[in-house]
Amino acid sequence: MDFQGKVVVVTGGASGMGEASARAFAKAGARVVIVDRNQERAEQVAREAGALAWVGDVSDSAFCNRVVAETLAQYSRLDVLVNAAGIIVRARGEDTTDEQWNRILGVNVSGTFFMCRAAIKAMKPQGSGAIVNFGSIWGDLGADGVAAYCASKGAVHNLTRALALEHAKDGLRINAVCPGEVNTPMLLSERKEPVTPELLQRLADTVPMGRLADPAEIAEVVLFLASSKASYMTGSLVLVDAGFAAR
């Protein structure tokens, strides 16, 4: 998959699957813009990948508009948007605070929408562009203890479908990758017990293949969905879960 000359924006590009995607696009020849709240990490990944870094919060629509505007000012086009920025709250619904609920929807749903909206306005005049949103297996499956996260990813799934239909004749393709259990900082965050090899093994044991995914494995699917090899795909939710949802 060759992205020579393509301009790619990756939110959440400073860690986890976003970082893996940003590095993979850069390796494939793309000019990459990393968007993240973690300035130190974003700048480090950008230096190593030969990318640009924009630091800010995607739940702020004005920031999202600026990211796209500055990308156009720098490169005169935008070919791919990857919405990998996301957070998780490990709480049952009854224990989820207003602040937690609003924050997770602000980042996972509003942030995805704001970036999509800004990118679509840039891509439509070109007559081409691809957007890959990060959904999750938990966007369609229920799970105990992550009610707000499940709700947010379900919203991302239907937002992806709706936007894909709205722009199917504009030359834009909008899909979502839906990972299962991936060995990322977010997977290990907010745990009520220490993160140990035993905990990782218990998580791996819930997966039919018996292991956690490496972020780079998810990045390969992101690149496929953004590439011309997926030219007849839009509105698709692509599970990358080692068979978790097949049971």
- Residues with catalytic roles: 149
**Cβ atoms of residues 80 and 22 within 8 Å:** no
Task: State how far the Cα of 206 lies from the Cα of 29, in Å rounded to an integer.
Answer: 37
